[in-house]
Amino acid sequence: MKQQKKMIKWKSVILSCYKTQRSMPESDKQVVKQASFQRLSLSDVSNPSSPMSVNDLSNSVIGSKLHAFTVAELRIVTHNFSRSNLVGEGGFGPVYKGFVDDKLRPGLKAQPVAVKALDLDGMQGHREWMAEIIFLGQLRHPHLVKLIGYCCEEEHRLLVYEYMARGSLENQLFRRYAAALPWSTRMKIALGAAKGLAFLHEEDQPVIYRDFKTSNVLLDADFTAKLSDFGLAKDGPEGGETHVTTRVMGTQGYAAPEYVMTDYYFSIGENNEISILMSGHLTSMSDVFSFGVVLLELLTGKRSMDSTRPGREQSLVEWARPLLRDYSKNLDRLMDPRLEGQYSTKGAQKAAALAYKCLSHQPKPRPTMSEVVKVLESLQGFEDAFLKPFVYVVPDENDNSKERFGTEKGSKKEESTDKNHGRRHRIKLPTSLVAYSDSVLYKKFRHGLNSPKHT
Q: Annotated active-site positions, please? A: 211
> Which of 57, 51, 16, 7 is closest to 35 using CA atoms?
57
Beta pairing partners, 274: 268
Q: 222: which DSSP letter?
A: T
Q: d(Cα 118, Cα 102) in Å, to the nearest integer?
A: 26
Please state, in angstroms and as integers, the Cα–Cα distance from residue 99 to each residue in 21, 82, 108, 144, 147, following that order: 21, 13, 11, 20, 14
Q: d(Cα 208, Cα 255) in Å, to the nearest integer?
A: 12
Q: d(Cα 410, Cα 60) in Å, to the nearest integer?
A: 77
Q: 217: which DSSP letter?
A: E
The upper half-sphere exposure of residue 250, i.e. CA atoms within 13 Å in the direction of its Cβ, equals 28
- List, in sequence order, every beta strand (DSSP E) within 122-271: 147-153, 156-162, 207-208, 217-219, 225-227, 234-235, 244-247, 263-268
3-state helix vs strand vs coil in the chain, percent to 5: 35, 15, 45
